[in-house]
Chain A
Amino acid sequence: MTETAGDEFQPFWDAAAAGELRFPFCRSCQKFHWYPMIRCPHCNTADISWRAIDPTGSLYSWTVVQRPFDAAFNDRTPYVVGLLEFPDAPGVRLITNLVDIETDAIEFGMAAAPAFDLYDTAESRLMFRPNVKPARSLE
């Protein structure tokens, strides 16, 4: 069997389709890593599983993109790119789009949960929706 580039990424999308957020987790050294690697970059063993976590993230930073750099985004600007951290998955940060929020209302540390209701397997985009439930502190 030959693997094509990107096959190692599919478990993320399968989990999203099932309403879960999963990241690569090394059973040997008990650490997460992201993006997916062939072996654990912390201990170089191959004993990696995709572990489900509490999917509510905390907003590390964001940018409001005003100018598209790809024709596919011509009718989507302005859009919000957010970078999330997860109390359950130290060391992982996830790029996403924040939806259903006014840009002026976005704050550091804001809790955001996956918008599984908007997930479309054809598009492979798991967006996040800021919510009122406070994220557990990372500090």
Chain B
Amino acid sequence: MTPDIAIVGIGETAPVRRSPKDLRSLVMEAVYDALDDAGIAPGEVDGVVTDSVVMPTTVPHDYVMAQLGATSRFDGSISYGGAGIACSPLQAALAINAGLANVVISYFGVDWGTRPSGPYGFHDLYPAKQTFEKPYGFNAQPIYFGLWTRRYMKEYGLTPEQLGSVAVQQRQHALLRGGGQISKPLTIEDYLTAPRIAEPLGVPDCCLITDGAGAFVMTSNERARDCRKPPVHVAGTGFASIPVSGDSVFTQDPNVLTTPGAHPATEQALAMAGIERRDIDFVELYDCFTISVLMQLEDMGFCEKGEAGAFFEEGRAAIGSDLPINTHGGFLSYSYRLGIEHVVEAVRQLRGEAGTNQVANTRFGAVGGFSLPDYGVLVLSADG
């Protein structure tokens, strides 16, 4: 498949931990902004794709289409959270290329800053987790990733300074970008002395918590020519998974220190785009934790296994260096809107409208979406 489509509009709400607006209002604000950015009237939307778990149960497709006054001809959903959003262009391309839809929106939003269960509510999906994990206090993502981090440090010799350099680098990018949830600089000394959450992970290793939303608009490359902004083309999409259930994946995956699906999804997306890793100018990675950035960078094949910590420590992930990563500061330092903000940032970069945090001469950018045990990769291109 050649995905003959482009992203023509992006929208996002201002990054805040707690918003006075409810989730539907935040999502609609982002969707309207994205349509306005594209110069496409709401009534022209005729398809919608989101993740299949979070959005359908919080801001359902039918509500959004009714609010837009738009008639749906295609309705899709894939994976959940970040992997689903990174892969939503995969389904949109299938629909648009087949003539099933003309303008497809994707959106994602969370109100986890104000919702009492926050990001931990999903645990109720899994009876085994309730029975064999929660009673031991194995009940939140920092604890799962803390357990992985400890073992990863033993296997690969990762140092606290190397891990901390991910947090420090992304904070620098967030301050360059501006407008994020945190405006305070972070030094490696700050990192090393920060309060621990689940050892060895501390506060700066963990993503922010956010009330907010993002959205983007996709259409055929032909229709994209008449839009308000230069189109950013969907060059390749990849989705991959492993046969380990979401409740078992933190403990029972035989390759527990490898990001499930990241390598095959990357191969699929690059093959579709007809490019190599060296052609990628920047990467936006699902950075729920510092350790997950390192694992994905390695498992996508941008670093050898065990070498991503040194890559960050040597400054090679900085804007202006070898391979800029999370150019807006990501979930760690900008805001936490699972996957969608990485797509929005990649589009800004490829349009050349990122301003203070612009990567020079961008042609290709990659987005990685991580939702254990699924992985999604999106390769975007500035050229047609």
Contacts and interface: CB of A to CB of B under 8 A. Distances in A.
- Chain A bound to chain B: yes
B156 interface: no
Nearest to B118: A69
A7 to B, nearest CB: 10
A5 B148 CA distance: 29
Contacts of A65: 137, 143, 146, 197-199
A12 B140 CA distance: 23
Interface in B137-190: 137-140, 142-143, 146-151, 154
Given A66-B199, A70-B134, A70-B139, A81 B243 contact: no
B157 to A, nearest CB: 13
Contacts of B63: none
B25 interface: no
Interface range for B: 35 or more
Interface range for A: 35 or more
B136 A125 contact: yes
A68 B94 CA distance: 44
Contact of B135 (A60, A64, A123): A123
Interface string A63-91: 11111111001001001010100000001
B21 interface: no
B20 interface: no
A65 B154 CA distance: 19
A91 B254 CA distance: 7
B291 to A, nearest CB: 12
A61 B151 contact: yes
Nearest to A92: B252
A71 B147 CA distance: 21
Contact of A63 (B150, B248, B256): B150
B247 interface: yes
Contact of A62 (B140, B147, B248): B147
Given A6-B130, A6-B131, A61 B143 contact: no
B367 to A, nearest CB: 29
Contacts of B135: 123-125
B133 interface: yes
B38 to A, nearest CB: 40
Contact of B243 (A41, A63, A124): A41
Contacts of A55: none
B137 A108 contact: no
Contacts of A67: 142, 195-198
Interface in B216-262: 243, 245, 247-248, 251-252, 254, 256
B198 A64 contact: yes
Contacts of A41: 243
Interface in B99-145: 120, 127-128, 130-140, 142-143
15 contacts: A6-B127, A9-B127, A34-B252, A35-B128, A35-B245, A35-B252, A63-B146, A66-B196, A70-B134, A70-B139, A81-B137, A81-B147, A91-B254, A93-B252, A97-B136
Interface of B: 120, 127-128, 130-140, 142-143, 146-151, 154, 195-201, 243, 245, 247-248, 251-252, 254, 256
Given A35-B247, A66-B199, 5 more contacts: A6-B127, A35-B252, A76-B137, A124-B135, A125-B135
